[in-house]
Structure 1
């Protein structure tokens, strides 16, 4: 009758150490991948609720800052990306058109754009919006605009 030998203690210790090292390497590789994603600027879906809030904030802040009697509204959001930091940075590229509605009007959602070329004032702006959703905070870090 064949006898079953018990594995020696050094063999078991060696196998355990090999297993721990293998699991550690896999975990370490995954952690490095996740660290690379934090801080990386990546494209976002324009339909995302957070992106929509950032666009709305950029439009409102832009209109508050410009020295014009008329409101401007987006013609098109040309690009959007985000960067995960201690919160999120949103990078937005928005093409604006000047509307016929004054800033004193309350309902600005259906304001038509000026049709006369000398009144249109089309601009393209790049915004950096910093958001900390769990603190319900949003701020414009920077923006620059040029005529379209």
Structure 2
């Protein structure tokens, strides 16, 4: 039963993301699974960053997906300071993006939902 459910979920997700196994395709960041992968990568970036501010995605330059024993999501994004200081649980409307140059980041997130949480495979950012 579990394997049948997992296979069904993979088939449904595959149908929304790619045409052939292994094919890298452009994808829409509004697809819930893709958005979740990007949010996961941004969260990891903010946890590993030594800045006092939380960064947010200002612009998605490119987003792709690939079926590889799960899903590999690749993102190229511009990140800017949100104005929220770490740690915070409050929403911040303040925008301090003028204080620093934005980062251009490349993230790769490998998602195998049947095995547990996703993994951040690549996290490369530069000014």
Give the TM interval when normalised to the shorter protein.
Answer: 0.7 to 0.9
- Structure with a larger share of its residues in helix: 1
Greater RCO (CA < 8 Å, at least 6 residues apart): 2
**TM-score when normalising by structure 1:** 0.68
CA distance in 2, matches of 1:111, 1:123: 20
- Relative to structure 1, the CA distance from residue 120 to residue 113 in structure 2 (aligned partners, 3 Å threshold; closer, same or farther) is farther
Q: How does 1:1-148 map to 2 (within 5 A)?
A: 37-108=20-91, 110-114=92-96, 117=98, 119-147=99-127
TM-score by length of 2: 0.78
Gaps of 5+ in 1: 1-35
Conserved 8 A contact 1:59-1:73: yes
Please list every run of 5 or more consecutive structure 2 residues that lacks an aligned counterpart in the other structure.
1-18
Larger radius of gyration: 1
Moved over 3 A (4+): none
- Quote the RMSD (CA, aligned, Å): 1.7
Aligned-residue offset at 1:136: 3.6
Instruction: State the number of aligned residues.
Output: 109
Do 1:113 and 1:120's aligned partners in 2 also have CA atoms closer than 8 Å? no
